Structure 1
Protein backbone atom coordinates (compact mmCIF):
# COMPACT_ATOMS: atom_id res chain seq x y z
CA UNK A 1 0.00 0.00 0.00
CA UNK A 2 1.68 3.22 -1.15
CA UNK A 3 0.21 6.61 -0.40
CA UNK A 4 1.74 9.64 -2.06
CA UNK A 5 1.39 13.23 -1.04
CA UNK A 6 -0.39 12.64 2.29
CA UNK A 7 1.04 14.53 5.26
CA UNK A 8 2.39 12.34 8.04
CA UNK A 9 -0.22 13.46 10.58
CA UNK A 10 -3.12 12.67 8.27
CA UNK A 11 -1.53 9.41 7.28
CA UNK A 12 -0.95 8.29 10.85
CA UNK A 13 -4.15 9.77 12.26
CA UNK A 14 -6.65 8.50 9.71
CA UNK A 15 -5.33 5.84 7.42
CA UNK A 16 -3.16 3.79 9.73
CA UNK A 17 -5.15 3.95 12.95
CA UNK A 18 -6.47 0.39 12.58
CA UNK A 19 -2.98 -0.85 11.66
CA UNK A 20 -1.12 0.72 14.58
CA UNK A 21 -1.69 -2.09 17.00
CA UNK A 22 -0.56 -4.92 14.76
CA UNK A 23 1.35 -3.72 11.69
CA UNK A 24 4.75 -2.22 11.07
CA UNK A 25 4.97 1.06 9.22
CA UNK A 26 7.76 1.63 6.72
CA UNK A 27 9.18 4.95 5.57
CA UNK A 28 11.34 5.70 2.54
CA UNK A 29 12.17 8.46 0.11
CA UNK A 30 10.94 8.10 -3.42
CA UNK A 31 12.82 9.10 -6.56
CA UNK A 32 11.58 12.71 -6.17
CA UNK A 33 12.84 13.04 -2.59
CA UNK A 34 9.38 12.82 -1.00
CA UNK A 35 8.82 10.69 2.05
CA UNK A 36 6.49 7.76 1.50
CA UNK A 37 4.84 5.52 4.06
CA UNK A 38 3.40 2.05 3.74
CA UNK A 39 2.63 -1.19 5.51
CA UNK A 40 4.87 -3.23 3.17
CA UNK A 41 8.59 -2.80 2.93
CA UNK A 42 9.64 -1.44 -0.44
CA UNK A 43 12.55 -2.89 -2.43
CA UNK A 44 14.58 0.26 -1.77
CA UNK A 45 16.28 1.30 1.43
CA UNK A 46 13.72 2.10 4.11
CA UNK A 47 13.21 2.75 7.82
CA UNK A 48 10.76 1.10 10.16
CA UNK A 49 8.65 3.70 11.93
CA UNK A 50 7.82 2.98 15.54
CA UNK A 51 4.29 4.27 16.02
CA UNK A 52 2.93 4.33 19.57
CA UNK A 53 -0.77 3.83 19.94
CA UNK A 54 -2.37 6.67 21.87
CA UNK A 55 -3.74 5.94 25.31
CA UNK A 56 -7.36 4.95 25.22
CA UNK A 57 -9.55 7.87 26.05
CA UNK A 58 -10.40 7.94 29.74
CA UNK A 59 -8.14 5.05 30.68
CA UNK A 60 -4.74 6.58 31.32
CA UNK A 61 -3.42 6.97 34.87
CA UNK A 62 -4.09 10.72 35.11
CA UNK A 63 -7.73 10.29 34.20
CA UNK A 64 -8.10 7.48 36.72
CA UNK A 65 -6.50 9.62 39.45
CA UNK A 66 -8.80 12.53 38.61
CA UNK A 67 -11.78 10.18 38.71
CA UNK A 68 -10.72 8.83 42.12
CA UNK A 69 -10.25 12.36 43.52
CA UNK A 70 -13.64 13.36 42.14
CA UNK A 71 -15.22 10.28 43.69
CA UNK A 72 -13.63 11.07 47.08
CA UNK A 73 -14.85 14.67 46.78
CA UNK A 74 -18.39 13.50 46.02
CA UNK A 75 -18.32 11.08 48.96
CA UNK A 76 -17.00 13.81 51.24
CA UNK A 77 -19.69 16.23 50.10
CA UNK A 78 -22.37 13.59 50.58
CA UNK A 79 -21.09 12.85 54.11
CA UNK A 80 -21.09 16.58 54.90
CA UNK A 81 -24.66 16.94 53.66
CA UNK A 82 -25.75 13.92 55.69
CA UNK A 83 -24.14 15.44 58.80
CA UNK A 84 -25.93 18.74 58.16
CA UNK A 85 -29.24 16.94 57.70
CA UNK A 86 -28.69 14.97 60.91
CA UNK A 87 -27.81 18.17 62.79
CA UNK A 88 -30.92 19.90 61.42
CA UNK A 89 -33.03 16.88 62.43
CA UNK A 90 -31.63 16.97 65.99
CA UNK A 91 -32.22 20.72 66.22
CA UNK A 92 -35.81 20.32 64.99
CA UNK A 93 -36.37 17.54 67.50
CA UNK A 94 -35.03 19.72 70.34
CA UNK A 95 -37.21 22.60 69.14
CA UNK A 96 -40.28 20.37 69.12
CA UNK A 97 -39.52 19.08 72.63
CA UNK A 98 -39.16 22.65 73.86
CA UNK A 99 -42.34 23.87 72.16
CA UNK A 100 -44.61 20.88 72.90
CA UNK A 101 -45.57 21.95 76.45
CA UNK A 102 -45.87 25.59 75.36
CA UNK A 103 -48.20 24.59 72.53
CA UNK A 104 -50.26 22.51 74.91
CA UNK A 105 -50.58 25.56 77.22
CA UNK A 106 -51.54 27.79 74.29
CA UNK A 107 -54.27 25.36 73.18
CA UNK A 108 -55.58 25.18 76.72
CA UNK A 109 -55.63 29.00 76.76
CA UNK A 110 -57.69 28.97 73.52
CA UNK A 111 -60.21 26.60 75.15
CA UNK A 112 -60.48 28.98 78.10
CA UNK A 113 -60.81 32.03 75.83
CA UNK A 114 -63.72 30.37 73.98
CA UNK A 115 -65.90 30.21 77.11
CA UNK A 116 -66.77 32.77 79.76
CA UNK A 117 -63.82 33.65 81.98
CA UNK A 118 -62.41 36.38 84.20
CA UNK A 119 -59.01 38.08 84.07
CA UNK A 120 -56.82 37.87 87.18
CA UNK A 121 -54.13 40.53 87.52
CA UNK A 122 -50.76 40.17 89.32
CA UNK A 123 -52.25 41.17 92.67
CA UNK A 124 -54.96 38.49 92.39
CA UNK A 125 -57.80 40.88 91.57
CA UNK A 126 -60.45 39.44 89.28
CA UNK A 127 -62.37 41.31 86.62
CA UNK A 128 -64.71 40.32 83.81
CA UNK A 129 -63.29 40.06 80.32
CA UNK A 130 -64.32 42.59 77.78
CA UNK A 131 -65.40 41.12 74.42
CA UNK A 132 -62.80 43.14 72.45
CA UNK A 133 -60.05 42.20 74.89
CA UNK A 134 -60.97 38.50 74.78
CA UNK A 135 -61.10 38.56 70.95
CA UNK A 136 -57.66 40.24 70.76
CA UNK A 137 -56.25 37.55 73.09
CA UNK A 138 -57.83 34.81 70.94
CA UNK A 139 -56.29 36.25 67.75
CA UNK A 140 -52.89 36.68 69.38
CA UNK A 141 -52.92 33.15 70.88
CA UNK A 142 -54.07 31.56 67.62
CA UNK A 143 -51.32 33.36 65.68
CA UNK A 144 -48.72 32.05 68.13
CA UNK A 145 -50.12 28.50 67.79
CA UNK A 146 -50.12 28.74 63.98
CA UNK A 147 -46.55 30.02 63.99
CA UNK A 148 -44.99 27.64 66.53
CA UNK A 149 -47.11 24.51 66.82
CA UNK A 150 -46.78 22.11 63.89
CA UNK A 151 -49.25 19.41 64.95
CA UNK A 152 -47.84 18.91 68.43
Structure 2
Protein backbone atom coordinates (compact mmCIF):
# COMPACT_ATOMS: atom_id res chain seq x y z
CA UNK A 1 0.00 0.00 0.00
CA UNK A 2 1.44 3.41 -0.93
CA UNK A 3 1.37 6.60 1.12
CA UNK A 4 -1.76 7.86 -0.56
CA UNK A 5 -3.60 4.63 0.25
CA UNK A 6 -2.53 4.82 3.89
CA UNK A 7 -3.62 8.47 4.14
CA UNK A 8 -6.97 7.67 2.52
CA UNK A 9 -7.55 4.77 4.94
CA UNK A 10 -6.77 7.00 7.93
CA UNK A 11 -9.10 9.74 6.71
CA UNK A 12 -11.93 7.28 6.11
CA UNK A 13 -11.57 5.76 9.56
CA UNK A 14 -11.51 9.21 11.20
CA UNK A 15 -14.60 10.32 9.27
CA UNK A 16 -16.39 7.07 10.15
CA UNK A 17 -15.59 7.65 13.81
CA UNK A 18 -16.82 11.24 13.63
CA UNK A 19 -20.06 10.10 12.03
CA UNK A 20 -20.77 7.58 14.78
CA UNK A 21 -19.78 9.89 17.61
CA UNK A 22 -23.02 11.82 18.26
CA UNK A 23 -23.83 14.42 20.84
CA UNK A 24 -25.15 13.62 24.26
CA UNK A 25 -27.69 15.95 25.80
CA UNK A 26 -28.50 16.53 29.45
CA UNK A 27 -31.76 17.99 30.75
CA UNK A 28 -33.85 18.08 33.89
CA UNK A 29 -37.55 17.26 33.77
CA UNK A 30 -40.36 18.97 35.72
CA UNK A 31 -39.84 16.52 38.63
CA UNK A 32 -36.18 17.44 38.97
CA UNK A 33 -34.92 14.17 37.45
CA UNK A 34 -31.79 14.53 35.32
CA UNK A 35 -31.88 12.74 31.96
CA UNK A 36 -29.26 12.01 29.33
CA UNK A 37 -29.95 11.16 25.73
CA UNK A 38 -28.56 11.19 22.23
CA UNK A 39 -31.47 13.25 20.90
CA UNK A 40 -32.12 16.83 21.91
CA UNK A 41 -35.36 17.02 23.87
CA UNK A 42 -38.23 19.02 22.37
CA UNK A 43 -39.39 22.08 24.32
CA UNK A 44 -36.85 21.47 27.08
CA UNK A 45 -33.76 23.41 27.93
CA UNK A 46 -30.77 21.10 27.53
CA UNK A 47 -27.02 21.25 27.40
CA UNK A 48 -24.54 19.27 25.36
CA UNK A 49 -22.36 16.97 27.43
CA UNK A 50 -18.75 16.39 26.47
CA UNK A 51 -18.31 12.61 26.42
CA UNK A 52 -14.85 11.09 26.30
CA UNK A 53 -13.94 7.46 26.16
CA UNK A 54 -11.37 6.11 28.58
CA UNK A 55 -11.16 6.53 32.31
CA UNK A 56 -12.95 9.11 34.37
CA UNK A 57 -11.70 10.95 37.41
CA UNK A 58 -13.80 8.63 39.56
CA UNK A 59 -11.85 5.63 38.32
CA UNK A 60 -9.21 4.40 40.72
CA UNK A 61 -6.48 1.83 40.87
CA UNK A 62 -6.71 -0.56 37.98
CA UNK A 63 -8.06 2.03 35.52
CA UNK A 64 -4.86 4.06 35.88
CA UNK A 65 -2.60 1.02 35.49
CA UNK A 66 -0.63 0.44 32.34
CA UNK A 67 -1.22 -2.84 30.50
CA UNK A 68 2.05 -4.21 31.87
CA UNK A 69 1.08 -3.23 35.40
CA UNK A 70 -2.25 -5.00 34.93
CA UNK A 71 -0.46 -8.14 33.73
CA UNK A 72 1.95 -7.94 36.68
CA UNK A 73 -0.95 -7.48 39.11
CA UNK A 74 -2.77 -10.46 37.58
CA UNK A 75 0.38 -12.59 37.83
CA UNK A 76 0.82 -11.58 41.47
CA UNK A 77 -2.81 -12.34 42.21
CA UNK A 78 -2.48 -15.79 40.63
CA UNK A 79 0.75 -16.46 42.52
CA UNK A 80 -0.90 -15.39 45.80
CA UNK A 81 -3.86 -17.68 45.11
CA UNK A 82 -1.53 -20.58 44.25
CA UNK A 83 0.33 -20.03 47.54
CA UNK A 84 -2.96 -19.98 49.47
CA UNK A 85 -4.04 -23.19 47.73
CA UNK A 86 -0.71 -24.81 48.56
CA UNK A 87 -0.99 -23.81 52.22
CA UNK A 88 -4.55 -25.11 52.32
CA UNK A 89 -3.45 -28.48 50.91
CA UNK A 90 -0.59 -28.66 53.40
CA UNK A 91 -2.92 -27.84 56.31
CA UNK A 92 -5.36 -30.49 55.10
CA UNK A 93 -2.57 -33.08 54.88
CA UNK A 94 -1.37 -32.17 58.38
CA UNK A 95 -4.90 -32.47 59.73
CA UNK A 96 -5.26 -35.94 58.17
CA UNK A 97 -1.89 -36.97 59.63
CA UNK A 98 -2.91 -35.72 63.10
CA UNK A 99 -6.17 -37.66 62.81
CA UNK A 100 -4.27 -40.83 61.88
CA UNK A 101 -1.76 -40.29 64.72
CA UNK A 102 -4.66 -39.83 67.13
CA UNK A 103 -6.31 -43.05 65.99
CA UNK A 104 -3.09 -45.10 66.26
CA UNK A 105 -2.09 -43.65 69.63
CA UNK A 106 -5.59 -44.28 71.02
CA UNK A 107 -5.52 -47.93 69.88
CA UNK A 108 -1.99 -48.42 71.22
CA UNK A 109 -2.92 -46.93 74.60
CA UNK A 110 -5.99 -49.17 74.78
CA UNK A 111 -3.81 -52.20 73.95
CA UNK A 112 -1.19 -51.32 76.57
CA UNK A 113 -3.88 -50.70 79.21
CA UNK A 114 -5.63 -54.02 78.49
CA UNK A 115 -2.53 -56.24 78.65
CA UNK A 116 -0.40 -56.80 81.72
CA UNK A 117 2.61 -57.91 79.75
CA UNK A 118 3.72 -56.40 76.46
CA UNK A 119 6.06 -58.36 74.20
CA UNK A 120 8.18 -56.57 71.61
CA UNK A 121 10.61 -57.69 68.97
CA UNK A 122 14.04 -56.10 69.29
CA UNK A 123 17.10 -56.96 67.20
CA UNK A 124 15.44 -60.17 66.03
CA UNK A 125 14.70 -61.27 69.60
CA UNK A 126 11.50 -60.98 71.57
CA UNK A 127 11.30 -59.62 75.09
CA UNK A 128 8.77 -58.19 77.54
CA UNK A 129 8.67 -54.51 78.38
CA UNK A 130 9.48 -53.59 81.97
CA UNK A 131 6.84 -51.72 84.01
CA UNK A 132 8.90 -48.53 83.59
CA UNK A 133 9.02 -48.99 79.79
CA UNK A 134 5.26 -49.64 79.75
CA UNK A 135 4.63 -46.43 81.69
CA UNK A 136 6.94 -44.51 79.34
CA UNK A 137 4.99 -45.83 76.32
CA UNK A 138 1.68 -44.93 78.00
CA UNK A 139 2.96 -41.39 78.57
CA UNK A 140 4.12 -41.11 74.94
CA UNK A 141 0.78 -42.32 73.59
CA UNK A 142 -1.12 -39.99 75.93
CA UNK A 143 0.99 -37.04 74.77
CA UNK A 144 0.18 -37.85 71.13
CA UNK A 145 -3.52 -38.13 72.00
CA UNK A 146 -3.44 -34.79 73.82
CA UNK A 147 -1.78 -33.07 70.87
CA UNK A 148 -3.48 -34.73 67.89
CA UNK A 149 -6.97 -35.65 69.10
CA UNK A 150 -8.20 -32.07 69.47
CA UNK A 151 -11.40 -31.59 67.52
TM-score, length-normalised on structure 2?
A: 0.41
Question: Which one has the largest radius of gyration?
Answer: 1
TM-score, length-normalised on structure 1?
A: 0.41
